[in-house]
Amino acid sequence: MSYLDMVEVIQTTPLISKQWRYLWKSLPTLNFNTYLWVYGPRNYYKGAGDFLDITNGFTDFVDSVFHFRDNNSNLDKFSIEGRIYDSGERFSNCLISAIKKNVQEVYLSFWKFSCLPIEFPHSLFSSTIKVFHLDSIEENQIWSLPNTMCIASHLKSLRLRSVILPKGDSKRELVLSCPILETLVLRDCDHGHLDSFIISTVQLKNLVVENSSWANNESCRININTPNLQVLNCIGSMYKDYVLENLPSLVTVNIGSGEMHAYCLVNVLKELYNATTLTISVWQSLVDVQDLLVSPDMLDQLPNQFYNLKYLKLASWHSHCIGAIAKLLQISPYIESLVWEIRKGYYFSLEERKYDEHLFSECKFDHLKFIEIKNLKVCKEEFKLLKVLLGKGIVLESIVITPSLVTSQRKQKNLEEFMEKLQSLPRASSSMTISFLRSQN
């Protein structure tokens, strides 16, 4: 029963047993889906001519379920999915009805066809609610959340997509400090009214922040202060600045942006000293990152060592960024797996860098066992890196290489020559194998 829509429950249970006729009045889970209401094979409004009347009738149905519900029955889960045409006030009343039944979990996933922001009731987050998930599939965020969300005392899981973040204070600063929150997921949430967004939650373990241009976060600074955070995913449109502090429990990190400014990357990296798994994705130019990471001015800004880092993945990094890669490897002496996904369909060569050899001379690969390189361009920068890894990887077991798509006989010949030269290089590990995979492009 906990997975059935309320239309199905009310229509089906009397057919199973007369004793179950009114079971729906005390169910701990209420699921409502507007699609099933409108298009379902047994819906009450089948054949009605006015689609808007049909969908408005859906809210009447939800109101009726709460009206006739057993007063002594608490509600564990309340879920709505589909299209909402009714006013924000009527929708808020549905939530208030669920709150009065001591609802513990709320799951909302829908469209709301309106151009005006719709506010959630303040009582929602001052209640005993533990889980709140809102997935709004909108081109423009119209769902507005109250400031009480930021101090919800019982909330453990908060997932939001395409909503307007709470207003914050008069200084345009928003502080999220829910005392027992463990999971926070924010996707394309509007930051346009904020200058500063602070996440300071003591019990937070899993944080996901994914922004597109809809998030309007380019003028906002983000501060993450979460001592028990274990997993951090922060990707997409960049914030104005990043401040990460007090992250001693961090294990897995995935950071990335279309235009990752070097100083922002450094600000992030210097607080990731405890991470064991690190993925860095950059989809645009890395020239400034390349220059900054290897400049003497930045050496003191980075961690002295990533002592716990075992897995490093560099996604969409250009072949010419070998200096930046060397710097990251230099401060990761215990790395066991390296994955380098070279950006597809793009390559230009820079003049030879004198600092490359110096940086590689300080790299140690005493624990490196596995290397994977995807979208190999067959260029001198890639060969230089592989030569160093082969020569210093004393416990290296496997290198797996997938070249970029070969589109001409000349490129095929270059690839074959590259493979032959690579296989002939001296190796520090006698048991190491090199495998070339066919491109799947």
Residue-wise pLDDT tens digits, 386-407: 999 999 999 999 999 999 877 7
pLDDT score for 262: 67
Residue-wise pLDDT tens digits, 307-323: 999 999 998 887 777 87
* Residue 433 DSSP SS3: strand
CA dist 161 and 185 (Å) reads 8
**Confidence band for 143, pLDDT divided at 50, 70 and 90:** confident
**Confidence band for 282, pLDDT divided at 50, 70 and 90:** confident
- Whether 47 has a pLDDT exceeding 50, the answer reads no
Give the up-direction half-sphere exposure of residue 174: CA atoms within 13 A in the CB hemisphere.
24
pLDDT score for 203: 98
CB of 130 within 8 A of CB of 105?
A: yes
Query: Amino acid identity of 364?
Result: K
- Token representation of residue 64: 């009726």
Alpha helices in 148-271 (DSSP H): 262-269
- Whether 230 has a pLDDT exceeding 90, the answer reads yes
pLDDT score for 138: 64
pLDDT score for 229: 97
Give the range with max mean pLDDT: 41-50, 166-175, 294-303, 343-352: 166-175
**Cα R_g (the chain), whole angstroms:** 27
Question: φ, ψ for residue 322 (rounded to 5)?
Answer: -65, -30
Q: Which CATH number fits domain 251-441: 1.10.1220, 3.80.10, 3.40.50, 3.90.420?
A: 3.80.10
CA dist 196 and 202 (Å) reads 19
Q: Which residue has the higher pLDDT, 347 or 301?
A: 301
**What angle in degrees, to the nearest 10, is found between the helix axes of 380-392 and 409-423?**
20
**Confidence band for 361, pLDDT divided at 50, 70 and 90:** confident
**Confidence band for 439, pLDDT divided at 50, 70 and 90:** confident
CB of 209 within 8 A of CB of 233?
A: yes
CB of 130 within 8 A of CB of 157?
A: yes
Looking at 36-45, 58-67, 426-435, which range is the least confident one? Answer: 36-45
CB of 251 within 8 A of CB of 277?
A: yes
User: What's the predicted TM-score (pTM) here?
Assistant: 0.88
The residue among 370, 371, 347, 342 whose CA lies nearest residue 441 is: 342
Secondary structure percentages of the chain, helix, strand, coil, to 5: 30, 25, 45
Residues forming a β-bridge with 282: 257
Q: What percent of the chain has pLDDT over 70?
A: 80
**Confidence band for 40, pLDDT divided at 50, 70 and 90:** low
CA dist 117 and 428 (Å) reads 63
For the chain, the average pLDDT equals 83
Q: What percent of the chain has pLDDT over 90?
A: 45
Span(s) in the chain for CATH 3.80.10: 251-441
- Whether 48 has a pLDDT exceeding 50, the answer reads no
- CA 250 to chain centroid, in Å, comes to 16
Burial class (CB in 10 A: 0-12, 13-18, 19+), 243: middle
